[in-house]
Homo-oligomer: A and B are copies of this chain.
Amino acid sequence: MSAASVVARLREGLGDRVDTSPAALQTARADKSGHAASGAPIAVVHAASVADVQATLRIATATGTPVVTRGAGTGLAGGANAGAGEISLSVRGMDRILEVRADDQLAVVEPGILNADLNAALAEHGLWWAPDPASRAISTVGGNIATGAGGLLCAKYGVVRDAVLGVDVVLADGRLLTLGHRTVKGVTGLDLTSLVIGSEGTLGVIVGATLKLRRLVPGDVCTVAATFPDVRTAAEASAAVTASGVQPSIMELMDAASLAAVHALLDLEAPAPGAAQLTIQTDGPAAGAEADTIADVLRGAGGIVAVSHDREEGERLLAIRRSMHPAMETLGTTLIEDVSVPRSAMPAMFDEIARVERERGVTIPTVAHAGDGNLHPNFIFDAEPDEFGVVEAPAYIWDAADDLFRAALRLGGTLTGEHGVGVLKRRWLADELGDDQWRLQREITRVFDPQGILNPGKVF
């Protein structure tokens, strides 16, 4: 069926929720990965209800039209990019909080609510939802679930998979499924909730979620910042903190290039050449004592250490880490990568990054969520944006990334700790999964979506 006929059917069913303005179509081509789809989608549907999503998918199934679900478009792997012949289905407008239960420590939400908006509302009940991707001010809960997002607090407070009790999903044919439980425990049948978490739009459209909440943590937040002569020493110091048995809420590592770029951006005195930094926070009733213990461990590991028991001063120390992305933009265009390795392999992974830089003549400033072994190497390059402001990474950058991915796999790690596969990493997926598992996963998507209209060309 022609694109025009599909759009006509969408308009008939969904009226002015169907947007074909050039600006909307161009926006739907790209997320924040730097990658954009070839061509533009045929329409953006701004769904306002579950019924809108169902209507869109029924038309998509009847016409064999691919559907790419989109939240706030902050993904870093191209998973929400919609291209020629596709419908971009935005659930950003479905942003209500339907229920908050302090006694059951759960909330029921629509997918389009921003993570930070949800947490602002939950704070009034003394509650919070722990997943805290760095994008939390601009990314949606539905997108966090669809990508299986992580964040800074994961080593102590878990990832999205640990914080979702159930999801409501519309299948390719428009049927609505309610998966999971409202209970803490529940083992009836297969755990399809976990299967949908991180499935990047390939199994269905998430139209609602029952979230597992925590009570706000009472007590202080203390912050420890420590500089080390080089990144390997800093990585070993972070391992010593983990080995000490004290569990920080946040443990961020910045290598020399990252630290220097942020200091330049913020007009701070330049760090010593080669110096790397750990920024660590503790929280809860024992935060002060834990921060002091960590400070001792870091000093023993060769760090120059500053400790703050003041929450605001701590935020100033952490601001250096939070300025990473703007600092990278001052260096050029960035491909943000996301490998994860066993914690013990962090020093070796930094060695591998240095090797790739040296052998391939590329600059890869790297920050890491050191408490859980998740590294974000930033590949810097120069490139002109195309007419839509989108910049593609050149081949030599992808070759360097390939080298780095394979090193992570050799160290027992994974291609992506928290960003997802999307379009950017699908060519490496079978290397990690093996061909048998890759095919099995593909067949599972076909059970949910026999026609293959949900986010085709993504992940697999």
Contact = CB atoms under 8 A, between A and B. Distances in A.
Nearest to A415: B188
A191 B183 contact: no
Contacts of A447: 440, 443-444, 447
Interface string A404-440: 0000000011111111110001000100111011101
A265 to B, nearest CB: 27
A416 B188 contact: yes
Interface in A432-460: 432-434, 436-438, 440-441, 443-445, 447-448, 459-460
Contact of A183 (B242, B285, B413, B421): B413
A190 interface: yes
Contacts of A326: none
Interface in A149-197: 150, 154-155, 158-159, 161-162, 175, 177-179, 181-192, 194-195, 197
Given A189-B459, A195-B190, A434 B183 contact: no
B443 A187 contact: no
Contacts of A15: none
Contact of A372 (B184, B191, B340, B440): B184
Q: State the main secondary structure of chain A at its contact with B.
A: loop
The number of chain A residues touching the other chain, given as a range, is: 35 or more
Most B CB atoms within 10 A — which of A155, A183, A421, A444?
Answer: A183
Nearest to A425: B188
Contacts of A147: 187
A414 B438 CA distance: 32
Count of identical protomers in the assembly: 2
Contacts of A373: 183-185
Interface stretch (A1-9, A97-105, A273-281): A97-105
A208 B162 CA distance: 22
B190 A101 contact: no
A394 interface: no
A199 interface: yes
Interface stretch (A47-55, A254-262, A316-324, A341-349): A341-349
Interface in A18-61: none
A418 B187 contact: yes
A58 to B, nearest CB: 15
B433 A243 contact: no
A201 interface: no
B448 A418 contact: no
A150 B181 CA distance: 15
Contact of A194 (B161, B177, B218, B443): B161
A416 B343 contact: no
A374 interface: yes
A167 to B, nearest CB: 12
A252 to B, nearest CB: 14
Nearest to A448: B440
Nearest to A150: B185
Contact of A104 (B182, B342, B460): B342
A322 B302 CA distance: 49
Given A175-B436, A184-B374, A190-B444, A103 B239 contact: yes
A123 interface: no
Given A154-B185, A162-B162, A285-B286, 12 more contacts: A105-B242, A177-B437, A181-B414, A182-B412, A183-B341, A183-B413, A188-B414, A189-B429, A189-B460, A190-B203, A190-B445, A447-B447
Interface of A: 101-106, 126, 147-148, 150, 154-155, 158-159, 161-162, 175, 177-179, 181-192, 194-195, 197-199, 203, 215, 218, 239, 242-243, 245, 285-286, 340-344, 369, 372-374, 412-421, 425, 429, 432-434, 436-438, 440-441, 443-445, 447-448, 459-460
